[in-house]
Structure 1
Amino acid sequence: MKLKQSSRLQKFLTGTLALVGLVGCGGSQIPLSAMQYAPQAYAAPQMLQAMRAPSLQAQSAAGIQVSFVKAYGRTIAENEAVSRQDANGPSAMLIRLIDSARKTLDGSFYDIDNQDVVAALLRARKRGVRVRLVTDTDNLTAKNSGPAGPPRVAITQLKKAGIPIVDDKRSGIMHNKFLVVDSQSVWTGSTNLTDSSLFHHNNNALSLRSAQLAASYTAEFERLFTQRIFGPNPPRQVPYPRVKIGSATVDVYFSPRGGGQEAVLRELGNARKRIMFMTFSLTDQSAGALIEAKQKQGVQISGVFDSWLGASRYTLFNPLKADGMDMRKDGNEALLHHKVIIVDDTVITGSYNYSNNAENSNNENFLIIRNAPAITQAYVEEFQRIRSISRSGSVRPDYRGLED
């Protein structure tokens, strides 16, 4: 077996910070006035109070529901106190979906560790649901213990219950975060199944009800689980690359080499009104050149980078800020883990970190969502919340809860 690099951080720095990644996104008709923000109106205590308000619920359109981790405070402790109580957060949404399953659960997750999710999967198995999982080899052992470390408790629990788990056994990252429920629904986004990702990091998750979209994700799952194909060859056949869910049009892309990079650049190139992004990593020079060109054409540009990665010499933060664009670094003590760009009224979101490795080496998935005003509005409002507590230039110390 070809072992991966023992340091997850080292692997990330040599992969996600590569110079050939990209980002794109968009959604529904939102007036340009939505871009006129007033950060002073969102002081941290007010933001936390707002996040506790029952009126702030997971937003949805016909067949699509989106949820965000309520990590809008400065510290991990205050974010966890709020997010663990959120009945509409990604964790609660996922557990409800798992508990609703009657026949099958097929999940591909980079990191599996949260005990509440593990308990839900075990309940499903006990009531006769077929549960199958794919994960990254690095995450079979206890955190930070390396490939020779002791087995991870969550993985041991799942295997002991008879749940088969396939790992990728390769140098690229199996970076997906998706679950197919009863061949009818898909849960996906930027959220790993860890306490940090579910309660500390700024993350998003979507639940989409579409048998066709589920079929496309199932085909990718079978490629990984049954055929053990984690690389780009042979080229994959996506059964339904574009589906209709209510009024929304949803395109799905899988990596490696599934056309995602070209699709994101195409969306950026089509921007007419605005490009907004909140992203863990944005390093691609081609994307940066497109964004700069769009600014010169009058497109409004605004972005929030993860504070730690925003300090990297590879990131586009400094070049874009130097060109006069509204660029911020996040204010979360943990991570800004979103991988989101809004281009006009189209949203792009998923596990894809917009890097050379995300396109060419890693197993990734992302969606391009169009004609879904409620979904776009939800992401615009999340961007406003993230931006309101962002910092103009400060960088937090190295965060030891680093995840991809």
Structure 2
Amino acid sequence: MDQVQLNVYCNTDDAFLIWRAGELENCIGFAIERVWLESDDGNRPLNQAEFLWNRVGFATDVGGGPDQRQPSDVWPFQRYSWTDHEVGFNDRARYRVVPMVGKPGALEPREEWASAWVEVHAVQPAGGRLSCFFNRPMAASRWMAKVAAEMEIETGTELVERISDVSSEFLRDFCGGSLIVALRQLFDNAGGNPDISLYAALFELEDEEVTQRFCDLGPRANIVLANGSTKVTEPDANAEGRAKVHAAGCVVIDRMTAAPRKVGALGHNKFIVVVDGDRPVAVWTGSTNLTPTGLFTQINNAVLIESAELATQYLAQWHRLAEAGSEAPSTLKASNAAPDAGTAVPANIEPWFTPTVKNADLKRLQALVEGAQDGILFLSFMPGPNGPVLDILEERAQGQFVRGVLNRFVGGADGALMAELVGGGKSDPMNLDVFTPSGIKHQFSFWAEEFMRGGKISVLVHSKVMCIDPFGAHPVVVTGSHNFSEMASESNDENFLVIEGDRSVAESYAAHIISVYDHYRWRQYVASTTAAGKQPWQKLDDKASWQKSRLNSAKQQAEWTFWMGSPGRPG
């Protein structure tokens, strides 16, 4: 197979490219060519081909240190996938991959081997009626290290303090990504239409901008407000925000279920129902707490679904929580014993609420995992020592394609890291495919020391997402506030959605998850290699032999099968 085969998967913030080729004679790597066809960014030239940049060069270039870059026809990519982070909402672009042959400094394209052009359009699924949004904090990154140095920010605590300030527009706009844009639009729509009311069930309300947005709505803002992550010295983490929304005349139901030093019973929801007049019309939900860290320094996601049916079901749950006050009556659990009716428009969506009984929600998640035909992508925060995430590891041990990032895997009496491959040897290195996030601690070669300086930056990945068989006959996305744990099932107020059969939604989440995975996969490799006393990969190879180890890799073959299907057909 000489001609490169290329697939591209896009959401409103990233485009993930993966390509397949056989061993190509004298190929030193691949250039990625892009043409902007439509863009809201007026600085982009349309209908002009350009090469994506690479920040890793050859041995002769190492001396220049970090922050170098060259177009990929000069410094080609010696790999078979790449994420273009420059894509944004409404952008339309096309890509192709071109093999580069020759010697460093004198490379030439082999046009006859180049892939066909592949076009993508960064729009929301279901004509915008089912929208998914992502933020882009990536605290462990070259970009954040550079920004922190320019702003003289030395610790994670200082970064959170700076980003909490609503005048820090640059940081908040960039790190909030499409998620903060969509949340602002939701409030703008409510603020500009006196018939609209919002019904929110919130774990945390600490961000100054969002709190003020609720206050501006006065009695049209109806909030079931929990007391967040409590401490002995702070039994109500939302005390300041609570006082503000009460004083502004919002309708506030104080749901004080959490107690310091006690596990569980968290009012952990993060959903908002939009009601127009007396008609529920839309639901906002996902993993994002309305705090500076949730919005801007942790990986999070949200969905906004225009569906009167689904909104009505979420509003009914809001009223059940409001009636419960600070209690968890058996009637609340009984009402959550099965999924709600859901909706078939704009997609097949099944909502679950907790606390429930007999782990009915976890059994549903386990069935979805066990039904995977091709593979599973996921992001998870504190999933607990058992449940569907451990089953995902079991699936991997049985040959399934699995890629994911765990922020923490807590279990056991001492709360230590607890995870191993079920069905594999005890020495199997889980972190090859499923790992906790880390950053580059020391500058080397083309890489800069990254911003990982303690303080309040303790959570890097907070999303709770599973994407199952995204390119198969039955794609599934699960997302919400639920941590896929027994505590979330039995003790907490939670919600999650099972979105089935919508490939465009699944592709959006797949592109997001793999961008996070690839970002931290490199950092995990650097950390583990350095800890073993070895030297991480430093530079581009100047010989075509770089291809052999990749092409002979079972892992590379598995990636191609998952993302592109069997050889000779598109994925």
- TM-score normalised by L of structure 2: 0.55
Distance 1:200 1:51, change over 3 A: farther
3-state secondary structure, aligned to 2:344: strand
Structure 2 distance, partners of 1:217, 1:340, is: 20
Kindly state the Cα deviation for residue 288 of structure 1 after the two structures are TM-superposed.
5.2
In structure 1, what is the equivalent of residue 485 of structure 2?
A: 355
Provide the rounded CA distance (Å) in 1 between the counterparts of 2:372 and 2:211: 41
Could you tell me which residue of structure 1 aligns to residue 125 of structure 2? 60
Instruction: Output one character per residue of 1:255-307: Cα deviation in whole Å (capped at 9) or x when no partner.
Output: 11163211111101111100111111233434356335433543212221116
CA contact (8 A) 1:281 1:315 kept: no
- Give the residue type in structure 2 aligned to 1:392: Q
Aligned to 1:113: 206
Give the direction of change, closer, same or farther, for the CA distance of 1:283–1:242 in structure 2 (3 Å limit): same
Partner residue of 2:462?
337
- Residue 123 (structure 1) shift: 2.3
Cα pair 1:90 1:204 within 8 Å, conserved: yes
Which one of 309, 333, 345 corresponds to residue 245 of structure 1?
Answer: 345
* 1:236 and 2:370 aligned: no
Cα shift at 1:104: 1.6
Per-residue CA deviation, residues 159-209 of structure 1 (Å, 9 max, x unaligned), is: 111113223233410000000011111010000001111011000011000
- SS of structure 1 residue aligned to 2:138: coil
Task: Choose from 129, 132, 135 the match for 1:69.
Answer: 135
Partner of 2:102: none
2:292 equivalent to 1:195: yes
1:125-160 deviations in whole A, cap 9, x for unaligned?
2xxx62111122246x9x9841289x7332222111
Change (3 A) 1:243 1:197: same
Contact 1:109 1:134 in 2 (8 A): yes
1:380 maps onto 2:380 in alignment: no
* Residue type at the aligned position of 1:60: P
Any conservation in 2 of the 1:42–1:385 contact (CA below 8 Å)? no
Moved more, 217-226 or 293-302: 293-302
User: Are residues 165 and 322 of structure 1, via their aligned partners in 2, closer, same or farther at CA, if it must alter by over 3 Å?
Assistant: farther
Counterparts of 1:244 and 1:157, CA distance in 2? 39
1:392 to 524, 528, 531: 524
> Residue 362 of structure 2 contacts residue 388 of structure 2 at CA under 8 Å; is this kept in 1?
no
Change in Cα spacing, 1:329 to 1:374, as seen in structure 2 (3 Å) is same
For the residues of structure 2 that align with 1:148 and 1:384, how far apart are their CA atoms? 36
Asked whether 1:306 is paired with 2:407, we answer: yes
1:267 aligns with 2:368: yes
Matches within 5 A, 1:126-145: 130-138=220-228, 145=233
Are residues 299 and 148 of structure 1, via their aligned partners in 2, closer, same or farther at CA, if it must alter by over 3 Å?
Answer: closer
Partner of 1:170: 257
Find the counterpart in structure 2 of residue 285 from structure 1. Answer: 386
Identity of aligned residues (%): 23
| 8 A Cα contact 1:278 1:340, kept in partner | yes
Max Rg structure: 2
Please give the alpha-carbon distance, in whole angstroms, between the structure 1 residues aligned to 2:83 and 2:397.
Answer: 37
Change (3 A) 1:239 1:228: farther
Query: Using the alignment, how far apart are the partners of 2:381 and 2:492 within structure 1?
Result: 16
Cα-to-partner distance string for 1:355-400 (whole Å, 9 max, x where unaligned) = 22100000000011112222111111111111121132759xxxxx
8 Å Cα contact 1:106/1:221 also seen in 2: yes
Deviation, 1:117, is 1.2
Q: Secondary structure at the match of 2:330?
A: coil
Q: Contact 2:271 / 2:286 at 8 angstroms: preserved in 1?
A: yes
- Residue type of the partner of 1:71? P
CA contact (8 A) 1:282 1:316 kept: no
What is aligned with 1:158? 245
Distance 1:148 1:361, change over 3 A: closer
**Comparing 95-104 with 369-378, which one deviates more in the overlay?**
95-104
Q: Residue 50 of structure 1: CA displacement?
A: 2.5
* Shift in alpha-carbon separation, 1:68–1:232, aligned structure 2, 3 A: farther
The answer to whether the 8 Å contact 2:228/2:236 transfers is no
Following superposition, the deviation at residue 244 of structure 1 comes to 1.4
The answer to whether the 8 A contact 1:189-1:205 is kept is yes
What amino acid maps onto 1:72 in structure 2?
M
* 1-structure distance, mates of 2:18, 2:341: 31
- Cα gap change, 1:289/1:120 in structure 2, threshold over 3 Å: closer, same or farther? closer
Is residue 216 of structure 2 the alignment partner of residue 123 of structure 1? Answer: yes
Alpha-carbon offset, residue 122 of structure 1: 2.2
Moved more, 257-266 or 321-330: 321-330
Contact 2:403–2:517, Cα closer than 8 Å, also in 1: no
Give the partner amino acid of 1:300: F
Structure 2 contact 467–477 (Cα < 8 Å) conserved = yes
Select the residue among 168, 171, 185 that pairs with 2:282.
185
Are 1:220 and 2:220 matched, yes or no? Answer: no
Aligned-partner Cα distance in 2 for 1:292–1:318: 6
Q: Is 2:256 aligned against 1:256?
A: no
State the superposition RMSD in angstroms.
3.7
Contact 1:188 1:205 survives alignment (8 Å): yes
- Whether the 8 Å CA contact 1:261–1:359 is kept in 2: the answer is yes
Secondary structure of the corresponding residue to residue 284 of structure 2 = strand
Q: Distance in 2 between matches of 1:254 and 1:348?
A: 13
**Structure 1, unpaired ranges of 5+:** 1-32, 396-404
